[in-house]
Amino acid sequence: MADIKINQIATQNFFQIPQIFMTRTEKKVENGKMLKIKYTSDYAKELSNDAKLAYAALYNRCQLSIKSYELGKKDFVDEDGSIFLIYTIEDLMDLLDKSRGTVIKIKKELNKLGLLREMRQGLNNPNKLYLQLVDASHQIVEFYDELGNPINLSDNRTETLEGQGSLNFGLPKNELQEVQILDASKNELSKNTHIDTKLDTHINWQESFLMLSDNTFLDKACLNYIAQCSPDYVSAKKFIDTVYQTKKLVCKEWSDYLKSKKIADDCIEIVGEDFNQDLFHTIQRIFAKNKILVNQGKNFLNQDGFIFKVLLNFWRSCAFEINHNQMTYLYGKICLSDKIELKL
């Protein structure tokens, strides 16, 4: 046994487990009362410890592949620049030092929560394994008073997105409704929790909100801007939920379109970090629009719908850019570089 010294941390090698995989709590004193903030997630609740460690081990292998790629080796990088792994069940048994049954269970857990996808390579060839990035929309923040009773920052701001099933979005109304309804167990604070009206939770909610930067592609500057422009935590978190909902919807929408035209078989994924600056500017325009209306003494008739539509169109433009501006998005034709239109 040996104590950890201040000069030893940098010399240690560790597997990295995403913070969102763990449940952690903070305690704050406000107006003489104790406020307990609990950070948890679907990952923390549903993944076994074996699955969490497996993700860390596979993530480590992905990092090694990235380093190899930087040295000119492209064995584990596909044509889209995505890192993949080649592991049979037996290979994973050796890597994780687990039984066959445990490895199969681990893969099912990771797949269920969207953390692992497989691509078949044909008969007698092992599948390609694509480790997936964690999704910050799985983050759950719960608040408790000093007696352990759950509280809510607002009792009337957790709403569903309304009025967004328009044909202008390019999808049937009923399909949009499936993603409009915010699941309180996953994305929002529950409307049914007890509210202690004597406890002031307004003072430091921005500080708690900024901690989401550990688990989202949005940087702290963008999160801070959203916090400054939002009246409370619930509204700010709801805005982030809409960012992720619209991004996920466009990925599915675009992938379904490509598959229907037999252009591609794989689902596309928009890497949020690649469009961070443009997204920040879009968010600034959204809040600027609201500020203009307020100064004019006007209000949004459907603010949620406006935010949803602007963000949806933003991610659609990102999907268009990813495909090198060669395809006209959702209009059934491909525009080539010489402006010749190819009907599909």
Helix (H, G, I), strand (E, B) or coil at 83: strand
Burial class of residue 85 (count of CB atoms within 10 Å of its CB; 0-12, 13-18, 19+): buried
User: Using an 8 Å Cβ cutoff, are 164 and 180 in contact?
Assistant: yes
pLDDT of res. 103: 94
Predicted local confidence at residue 81, as pLDDT: 82
Please tell me the number of Cα atoms within 13 Å of 170 on its side-chain side.
Answer: 16
Please give the model's pTM, rounded to 2 decimal places.
0.48
DSSP states of 47-78 as a string? S-HHHHHHHHHHHHHHHHHHHHHHTT--TTB-
CB pairs under 8 A, 24+ apart, for 216-219?
Answer: 216/136, 216/139, 216/240, 216/272, 217/136, 217/271, 217/272, 217/273, 217/276, 218/243, 218/272, 218/276, 218/279, 219/276, 219/280
Question: What domains does the chain contain, in order, with CATH numbers?
Answer: 15-151 (1.10.10.10), 205-339 (no CATH)
Q: What is the pLDDT of residue 58?
A: 93
Q: What does the pLDDT read at residue 268?
A: 67
Residue 45 pLDDT: 92
Residue spans of the chain under pLDDT 70? 2, 4-12, 153-204, 208, 212-214, 263-268, 300, 323-344
